[in-house]
Amino acid sequence: MRKFIVHNFGCRATQADGVAIEGMLRARGMQPAESSSDAQFVIINSCTVTAAADEDVRQAVRRAHRENPEAKILVTGCYAQRAPEELAVLPGVAWVAGNSHKHMIPALLDGTEAVEDTSYHGQIYVSDITASHSFLTAAVEDSMLDRTRPNLKIQDGCSNRCSFCIIPSVRGKSRSLPPDQVIEQVRNLASRYREVVLSGINLGRWGREQGMNLRLAWLIRRLLAETGIERIRLSSVEPMDFSDDLLELMASSPRIAKHVHAPLQSGCDRVLKRMRRKYRTRHYEDRIRKARALMPDAAIGADVMTGFPGETDEEFEESRSFIASLPFTYLHVFTYSERPGTEAAALGNQVDPKVRKHRTQVLRALAAEKNLAFRQSMVGRELSVVTLGDRRSLSGNYLQVELATPRPANQIVSVRIEGLSTSGLVEAQPLRVLA
């Protein structure tokens, strides 16, 4: 029996692709291995969003080769799409297959099909990703949360052209999983899970491509009407895709998690313009305050970048002040990393890495303050949580809750909050009945 192992790096979309690849290989009669040392084929499903992500992938390739010099290594994913030659020369690498050729991986390992239309030499399989219409998807069980909250990728690619972002050139144009397939997938998941997370590279653009002309809110209404899933959670949605219709739907349905994540990147309009973001701070603020007015207890989060080329001390302070003024409950703070081939990488006036790091620390401290205040506001409240096994759970508004007593995983229950843990909340102990 031929054995394989898939190592995934990066975002939920990449994780979904990895699960889909595993499913295709199983269908070919291959068996998952426990580790690289016992696999004939090692698949590295790569990320390239930062220089650090690239280095993690290269280290993973070298480690797999050390552990099993006889194994054939295939590198795929975003790094493979961006710079296949860099990966092809690493020890043990037999194939490099970009995102454009992920669907051909079983044929490559089998040697049963020749792959045509390659842009490079023999072991590299990469073609123009902008012409790709392929869509790999599979529900990703969240192993960090005891496999109780599967992520379902329903959208891939991005048609935006933010100046710092490599993703459009390695993922291609925005494309969507057809609605009937989404409904079928969620129906299947609802038989095993209480909550499902809808994800994508640019989730808010689901259904917008020519020939569909649909909206995410329309899809969610169908999911509520045609599936038995108890809770739907949305991953990241671009701010201007949080329409009034979508926010009002989220607020009105108890089956939609009260959780809004809208990437900001910068709270300074001049920086947003250089980033080629499609909104300004006044637009962003309007969406966030609308969300808070409709959902007073919602988790509201954002991605924020520090150290974008040319970001002055004054611009950073403007951004920090803007962020401080909004009702965020958490932040994902990233330090700018140059990506070859992006417009931003060619800009002059790059910010000193030490300054970038310091600004990141400042915003992470602000995020911690906001998260603490949000958690404190939940003390004494009743929250709906999905149980994760043992005493762990996650609330609808995205807070970890330590349960008073162990509960089986994969239930949605109501709990009363007694206090705070280091990073979350603590359920009140049940009242004892005196004899």
| pLDDT tens readout for residues 89-119 | 999 999 999 999 998 899 999 875 544 444 4
Largest CA distance in the chain: 80
Phi, psi of 328 (to 5 degrees): -70, 145
- 129: tokens are 């990703």
The length of the chain, given as a count of residues:
435
Outline where 7-90 has alpha helix (H). Answer: 12-27, 51-67, 78-82, 84-88
pTM over 0.75: yes
| CATH placement of domain 143-376 | 3.80.30.20
pLDDT category of residue 122 using cuts at 50, 70 and 90:
very low
The pLDDT score that the predictor gives to residue 141 is: 53
Query: What average pLDDT does the segment 303-316 reach?
Result: 98
pLDDT of residue 115: 45
Closest to 370 in 3D by CA, of 398, 330, 401, 426: 330
What is the rounded CA–CA span in Å between residue 127 and residue 119?
A: 6
Average pLDDT of the segment spanning 140-151: 58
Q: Cα 218 from chain centroid?
A: 22
Mean pLDDT, residues 205-225: 94
- Architecture of 3-130 per CATH? 3-Layer(aba) Sandwich (3.40)
Q: What is the rounded CA–CA span in Å between residue 267 and residue 314?
A: 12
Q: Per-residue DSSP letters for 288-341?
A: HHHHHHH-TT-EEEEEEEE--TT--HHHHHHHHHHHHHS--SEEEEEE----TT
The tens digit of pLDDT for each residue in 157-201 reads 999 999 999 999 999 999 999 999 999 999 999 999 999 999 999
Q: Is 115 left (phi over 0), alpha (psi -120 to 50) or beta?
A: beta
Look at residue 118 in the predicted model and tell me its pLDDT: 43
DSSP state of 352: P
Average pLDDT over residues 106-134: 69
- DSSP assignment, residue 256? B
Distance CA 199, CA 197 (A): 6
Domain coordinates of the chain in residue numbers?
3-130, 143-376, 382-427
